[in-house]
């Protein structure tokens, strides 16, 4: 029996997003959706994280920082990309300073598409990502 599924702690990482996905991701912890019912909570330090939520097109300026932050998380982490930007660059496609997709730089377990995805979609995606946790 593993207990990660019962208490997934989420670290939210912005890689140059337009803030749309960040608002939707943070909306998951607000009264309307309340992912604390599932035991999840937002943590500030990557050392405490089980799930890393990444938003935004992978900005070249922040790429090294993203890799450092992801390496700082303990083993058994799951990386979830949120929004069209992490998949294809979305709005920032063909921009000179972005380098999508996220999966090129690190193993991504799951993408949640949308621009931005609804909180319902993010919660459904997290529930599926929990299946990948072990």
Place of tokens 């500030």: 44
Q: How far apart are CB 74 and other proteins at their closest, in Å? A: 4
Q: How far apart are CB 103 and other proteins at their closest, in Å? A: 23
- 128: enclosing H helix or E strand: helix 119-132
Q: How far apart are CB 16 and other proteins at their closest, in Å? A: 20
Residues of this chain that interact with other proteins (CB under 8 A) are: 2-4, 6-7, 30-31, 34, 36-37, 39, 43-45, 47-48, 50, 72, 74-76
Question: What distance in Å separates the CA atoms of residue 9 and residue 2, rounded to the nearest whole number?
Answer: 14
Nearer to other proteins, 79 or 87 (CB): 79
- 14: enclosing H helix or E strand: strand 9-14
Assigned token pair, 75: 């083993």
Q: How far apart are CB 89 and other proteins at their closest, in Å? A: 29
Question: What distance in Å separates the CA atoms of residue 119 and residue 43, rounded to the nearest whole number?
Answer: 18
Nearer to other proteins, 73 or 108 (CB): 73
Nearer to other proteins, 34 or 131 (CB): 34
**Size (the chain), residues:** 134
């Amino acid at each position: 029996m593993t207990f990660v599924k019962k208490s997934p702690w989420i670290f939210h990482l912005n890689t140059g997003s337009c803030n749309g996905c960040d608002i939707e991701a943070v909306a998951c912890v607000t009264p309307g959706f309340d992912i604390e019912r599932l035991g999840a909570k937002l943590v500030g330090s990557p050392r405490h994280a089980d799930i890393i939520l990444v938003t935004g097109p992978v900005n070249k300026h922040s790429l090294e920082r993203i890799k450092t932050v992801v390496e700082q998380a303990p083993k058994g982490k799951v990386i979830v990309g949120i929004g069209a930007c992490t998949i294809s660059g979305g709005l920032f496609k063909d921009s000179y300073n972005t380098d999508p997709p996220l999966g090129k730089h690190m193993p991504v377990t799951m993408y949640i598409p949308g621009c931005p995805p609804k909180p319902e979609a993010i919660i459904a995606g997290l529930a599926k990502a929990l299946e990948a946790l072990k």
